[in-house]
């Protein structure tokens, strides 16, 4: 008599004979991979995951329930207020209470966070060894509020990965956006100051290993000069890889520990022809390369700060979509800086971004919107998106 066992019985018998810490199941026919407990309860690194579909995102960056116009409101009234203004997603700070995040989630308002990676005033002051180094051997000074850090220092890289891991532990957070994920430069101006960096001793040793060479010269400026004159292409490739490898590590952590979380990136709004290719040569940010590890890109299309017309917002958004083949949610400025930003220009820039994206739009920031009394403009923008874009789109991204 032939005995036929169910697949569950066969699987359980096989498991009993195998070290459970080394098991990888590939179940044909299932829409997603199945994660099993390994390595102290973490999901298998290579297991696939399908995140839930997203509607078109209408987000505000910098939400705080403790700031105006929300301060003093009953907590349960805040999600309703946001909904009335067309907002279905917010970027929150680490200080936001879990109770508020829970209310937002219950109201189907998406909750995202930002992680600053290679920048920060406090770390610049407390860790001088993490400051970027120029080809002359000196430290790259701060540029106003901006304090860049070296992406090459192993301790800083590890710290930021741990910071990323801590953010993943909040069950209310549905997405984390990487910011300042580049070599140092303050770019938010028509003519930014662009200085090649980082030529620290750590970076030079890493470059030697990357390029398979031994740099000649006894001083840092001599070695930097050799790189810039003899190995400029490999130096750019090294910088791009320095950024890419950190993002890949963050992606792997996400995949193991919170595969349901979206990984986003705030990108520099430049193309390869802007500033003689500085986005790769100086900043080491190649969005085409990073697309292998990032789910959603958000170019920081602050047109007024960059001295560009509103239509430029669409140009950059479209370029990001072509290069990455991923959803692109541009983040548009709502602040009058460095010159007054009229309601008409604000709404025009936002509309250019929304049309070019067709998947999401972020307004920067809630504090500026409040200060400049733009909430009615926000409502106009998001209602127009709902009326003229969303009604023609499928839900899933």
Q: What is the pLDDT of residue 257?
A: 98
pLDDT over 70 at 118, yes or no: yes
pLDDT over 70 at 390, yes or no: yes
CA dist list (Å): 329 to 193, 325, 377: 27, 13, 19
Q: What is the pLDDT of residue 51?
A: 84
Handedness of CA 314, 323, 93, 190 (dihedral sign): negative
pLDDT over 70 at 9, yes or no: no
Handedness of CA 105, 98, 162, 144 (dihedral sign): positive
Q: What is the pLDDT of residue 30?
A: 27
pLDDT digits (tens, 9 = 90+) for 246-294: 999 999 999 999 999 999 999 999 999 999 999 999 999 999 999 999 9
- Torsions phi, psi for 317 (to 5 deg): -60, -45
Q: What is the pLDDT of residue 387?
A: 95
In 3D space, the residue among 328, 337, 326 whose CA is nearest the CA of residue 365 turns out to be: 337
pLDDT digits (tens, 9 = 90+) for 20-67: 333 332 222 323 332 323 333 333 333 446 787 899 999 999 999 999
Residue 74: partners with Cβ closer than 8 Å, 6 or more residues away: none
Q: What is the mean pLDDT of residues 120-131?
A: 98
The answer to whether 323 and 292 have CB atoms below 8 angstroms apart is no
Return d(Cα 143, Cα 141) in angstroms, integer. Answer: 6
Return d(Cα 33, Cα 81) in angstroms, integer. Answer: 39
pLDDT digits (tens, 9 = 90+) for 144-181: 999 999 999 999 999 999 999 999 999 999 999 999 99
The answer to whether 331 and 364 have CB atoms below 8 angstroms apart is yes
The answer to whether 149 and 142 have CB atoms below 8 angstroms apart is no
Roughly what angle, to the nearest 10 degrees, separates helices 375-388 and 343-357?
Answer: 30
Q: What is the mean pLDDT of residues 328-357?
A: 98
Task: State the pLDDT confidence band at 392, using cuts at 50, 70 and 90.
Answer: confident
In 3D space, the residue among 286, 310, 312 whose CA is nearest the CA of residue 297 turns out to be: 286
| Burial bucket for residue 334 (CB in 10 Å: 0-12, 13-18, 19+) | buried
Q: What is the pLDDT of residue 25?
A: 27
- 129: which DSSP letter? G
pLDDT over 60 at 108, yes or no: yes
Q: What is the pLDDT of residue 394?
A: 65
Q: Please measure the distance between the N-terminal and C-terminal CA atoms of the chain and give it in whole angstroms.
A: 52
Return d(Cα 160, Cα 152) in angstroms, integer. Answer: 12
Name the helix (H) or strand (E) containing 48.
none
pLDDT digits (tens, 9 = 90+) for 361-374: 999 999 999 999 99
The answer to whether 43 and 257 have CB atoms below 8 angstroms apart is yes
In 3D space, the residue among 41, 136, 60, 12 whose CA is nearest the CA of residue 368 turns out to be: 60
Domains of the chain, earliest start first: 52-390 (3.20.20.80)
Helix (H, G, I), strand (E, B) or coil at 73: coil
Tokens for 354? 């929304």
The beta strand positions in 268-390, using DSSP E, are 296-301, 331-333, 360-364
Task: State the pLDDT confidence band at 391, using cuts at 50, 70 and 90.
Answer: confident
Lowest mean pLDDT among 6-15, 149-158, 338-347: 6-15
Share of the chain above pLDDT 70, in %: 86
Return d(Cα 283, Cα 123) in angstroms, integer. Answer: 20
Average pLDDT score, the chain:
89
Task: State the pLDDT confidence band at 200, using cuts at 50, 70 and 90.
Answer: very high
Tokens for 209? 């290993």
């Amino acid at each position: 008599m032939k005995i036929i066992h169910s697949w569950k019985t066969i699987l359980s018998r096989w498991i009993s004979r195998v070290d459970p810490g080394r098991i990888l199941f590939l179940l044909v026919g299932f829409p997603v991979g199945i994660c099993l407990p390994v390595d102290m309860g973490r999901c298998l690194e290579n297991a696939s995951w399908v995140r839930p579909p997203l509607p078109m995102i209408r987000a505000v960056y910098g939400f705080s329930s403790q700031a105006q116009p929300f301060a003093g409101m009953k907590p349960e009234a805040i999600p309703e207020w946001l909904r009335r203004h067309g907002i279905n997603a917010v970027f929150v700070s680490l200080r936001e209470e879990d109770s508020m995040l829970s209310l937002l989630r219950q109201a189907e308002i998406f909750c995202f966070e930002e992680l600053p990676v290679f920048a920060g005033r406090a770390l610049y002051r407390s860790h001088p060894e993490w400051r970027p180094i120029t080809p002359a051997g000196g430290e790259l000074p701060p540029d106003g509020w901006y304090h860049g850090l070296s992406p090459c220092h192993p301790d800083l890289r590890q710290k930021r990965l741990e910071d990323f891991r801590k953010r993943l532990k909040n069950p209310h957070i549905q997405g984390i956006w990487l910011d300042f994920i580049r070599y140092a430069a303050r770019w938010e101006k028509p003519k930014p100051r662009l200085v090649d960096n980082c030529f620290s001793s750590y970076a030079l040793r890493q470059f030697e290993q990357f390029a398979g060479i031994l740099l000649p010269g006894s001083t840092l400026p001599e070695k930097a000069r050799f790189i810039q004159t003899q190995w400029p292409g490999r130096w750019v490739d090294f910088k791009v890889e320095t950024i890419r490898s950190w993002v890949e590590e963050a992606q792997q952590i996400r995949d193991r520990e919170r595969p349901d979380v979206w990984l986003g990136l705030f990108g520099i709004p430049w193309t390869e022809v802007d500033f003689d290719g500085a986005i790769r040569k100086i900043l080491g940010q190649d969005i085409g390369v990073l697309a292998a590890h990032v789910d959603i890109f958000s170019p920081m299309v602050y047109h007024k700060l960059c001295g560009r017309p509103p239509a430029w917002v669409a140009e950059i958004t479209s370029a990001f979509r072509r290069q990455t083949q991923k959803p692109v949610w541009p983040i548009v400025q709502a602040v009058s800086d460095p010159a007054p930003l009229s309601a008409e220009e604000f709404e025009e820039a936002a509309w250019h971004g929304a049309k070019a994206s067709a998947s999401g739009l972020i307004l920067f920031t809630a504090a500026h919107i409040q200060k400049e009394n733009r909430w009615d403009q926000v409502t106009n923008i998001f209602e127009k998106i709902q009326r003229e874009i969303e009604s023609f789109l499928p839900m899933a991204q």
